[in-house]
Amino acid sequence: MNRVGICYHNKSAEAANVAMALKEAIGIVTNESWLCTAWDEETLNRNIDGTDLLISAGGDGTILWAARSALTRGIPVLGVRMGILAFLAELSASEALERIPALLQSESSIEERTTLQVEITAPGANAGPFHAINDVVVSRGAIGRPITLRVSVDGMEVASLRSDGVIIATATGSTAYSLAVGGPVLPPEAPELVLNFVAPHMTVATALVLPATATVEVQVGDDEEAILSVDGQTDRPLSTGETVRIVRGKYPARFLRTHAAGESYRKLGATLGWLPRDLE
């Protein structure tokens, strides 16, 4: 790997210090490295072409931003754990600083994960496509006011009900918002999708596991306020008559992995309190 980018949480002095130390460590192998803060689209777009690896120092939010930025270019991402929630991270800061020169000179495994592609089918500005690594959520736009959601899978209506929202999650996102409302956890590289309602009114709160080939469409009831949220980082208000269409993305998210395959389950066990959370 000759050209390496490093992005770090824009409000964390600790993450900035780790990023600078990583850049110095990478210099042992190659001088082709660059830095930017997360959400600095201008700097990232100026430097990312030709990059072989993108390192993210921060929590899961920072890693998600980096992975979406690298998505269409096929660049793998290495997550360095800095935040409280960093389930996507592969290494702690100390591990990364110790091992990064060796990792750049040897072959590491690349884990590919399913993503989502989202479009709004009614004409209008900012209709997509958007790319999600965790999940797509259509939720209420007003506090305390549930919305009517009509959901179809492959053209067949499967639900018409009032709730706070609906989540369509990947296997990666099955450990995020969907899990918080009782959804199942899928194996990290599973291609299937999870369909899960948030606080459905007067009905059973359960989730569906859908095949990777499924097309999900969500429409909000007339004259109701709703928001489309992509990975919890890109939000767009929805208007009457607009339909959100979600399919499996054609670009997989690629993560550089150094640990054994079962490590993801150990991380999950720690996150759920089954194990001590200190995985250093």
Q: What is the DSSP string of 6-55?
A: EEE-TT-HHHHHHHHHHHHHHTTT-S-EEEEETT-HHHHHHH-TT-SEEE
Query: Which parts of the chain fold into alpha helices (H)?
Result: 13-26, 41-47, 60-71, 93-105, 177-180, 263-271
pTM to 2 decimal places: 0.91
pLDDT in tens, 63-74: 999 999 999 999
Residues of the chain with CATH 3.40.50.10330: 4-113+252-271
Strand stretches in 77-129, DSSP E: 77-81, 91-92, 109-113, 116-120
Homologous superfamily assigned to 116-248:
Probable inorganic polyphosphate/atp-NAD kinase; domain 2 (2.60.200.30)
Pairing of strands 147-153, 216-220: antiparallel
pLDDT at 31: 81
pLDDT at 124: 60
Instruction: Answer positive or negative: Cα dihedral of 9, 10, 14, 16.
Output: positive
pLDDT at 280: 46
- Active site amino acids: 60
Q: What parts of the chain have a pLDDT lower than 70?
A: 83-86, 107, 123-125, 277-280
3-state secondary structure 159-173: EEEEECEEEEECCCH
pLDDT at 266: 82
pLDDT at 24: 94
pLDDT at 20: 96
The number of C-alpha atoms within 13 Å of 167 and in the hemisphere containing its C-beta is: 32
Residues of the chain with CATH 2.60.200.30: 116-248
pLDDT at 151: 97
Architecture of the 4-113+252-271 domain: 3-Layer(aba) Sandwich (3.40)
